[in-house]
Structure 1
Amino acid sequence: MEESLIPPDQEPVEICLLAGKIMLQSGAETYRVEDTMTRLATSLGLPGSQSYVTPTGIVFQSGEMQWAKLIRIVERTTDLEKVAAVNNISRQLGNGTLSPEAAYQQLVRIDTSRHAYPLPLQIVAAAIASGCFTFMFGGVGKDLLPGILCGGLGFAAFLWLHRLVRVKFFAEFTASLMIGIVAYLLVQIHLGTALDKIIIGSVMPLVPGLLITNAVRDLMAGHLVSGLSRGAEAFLTAFAIGAGIAVVFTVL
């Protein structure tokens, strides 16, 4: 087993910060991150620890130290498998079946691991979901294939642009613009009938459902800063999607 490269007196703090970082980057709610860090600190012998979590950073201070440590969160995504893995490590540390050294090494492996599902599978899943949403929102059988094509192309464009430009809102705007144009062309060549149903179904994989849910749950838990910031991010995402579709209806 590899030895930890951090000093023994700082290892509990590093474990708590790394666990919080993984959870926050993977889409966990703010109050869940703080609760997990508090439980980890208690299990590691750091009673009275304090943590302050926002969507862009984590501040943690153990009860025995006069200084606090900060970690910035630059990139956020959705990977609930990592959240579940960190929670499992927290439970194992709590019941004494896992040592701090092994816990830190497992957290490092979780942090450096890639997404559970490859990008082609994500695109296929988004395409199938778009077709199902198109049918669920009132589209006929003829609209199923256009919904699948538009949803798959739009989600693939979003992933590609987000990796290229690193500006999420621009990627969402461009992806929704592409969805609107492709849906319009497919209806014009009579491969689809209900343009509105195809567009609504195709943009569903881009809708910030997790952001909205986390914003509401953070507000209900009393985390006003995190709740409002997540809500603002969800609003801007919805605005980008709506603006892209609005441009299509305005120009075409």
Structure 2
Amino acid sequence: MPSVRLSAPPTKHLFLTAALCALLAACGGGDDDASTPTAAPSAPPPPAAPVPAAPTFAACFTVTPGVAYTMTDPDGGGSGKVLMVNEAFDGSARAGSVEFVGTTDVRSAATYWSPESNGIRFWGSVDYDATGAAQSKHVHSPEFLLPLSLQAGQSTVLKYTDTTQQLTGAQAGQTDTEAFEETWTFEGFETLTLGGKTFTDTCRVRTLAASAGEDGPSTLWFAKGFGVIRVRHTNSAGQVVEESSLDAVTAQP
């Protein structure tokens, strides 16, 4: 606001000017253009990028029915087809993995497992004859349960029984039960690129039977939705004796 000259008597005009300046905090009248400009509101910050969910042990054992792929034959005889299913086993629908003879539709084996509230439950398996007919069924006892609490580097000892029922042939109806003891070690999450597809956070699991003898541990890689996408068997000296891995994804619903 301009100062008022004290050396001359104030005029009515000067008094009005001083009064307006005092009211408006700016000389020049009450025009809106003369007021102090108001800063424009700042734009809201962009939304934070979602944080990826941490991988979980249980997720590796989920099954997506309809997923299909081929695995290399450990004996070098080409590839074999694998299909993820949800189908009847031992009286209930179970998630599992079916293996076929080469790339035909003739079944050779099926294995069933699923994540439960208290662990990964392995239910059992079915073996098929050369025609694809079910030949024998193996049902695991409830103790074949892999704890969900396993952290990378931790192991658990599983003691369970396997009841085998012969379904065909001269021994059809015969049942045998055998006890097993195995050490399962969760070695950690691992990213694999197989058959042109990258699988993140696969679970690398090592198994060793108490009565392994000359056989060494086996290592299996479980991938979410796909089941076992790589397997390696070694002898007691640590040498690889068999290995198989996914080489092509043929169906992914």
TM-score, normalising length: structure 1: 0.25
- The structure with higher relative contact order (CA 8 Å, sep 6+) is 1
Which structure's CA Rg is the greater one?
2
TM-score, normalising length: structure 2: 0.25
Of Structure 1 and Structure 2, which has the larger fraction of its residues in strand?
2
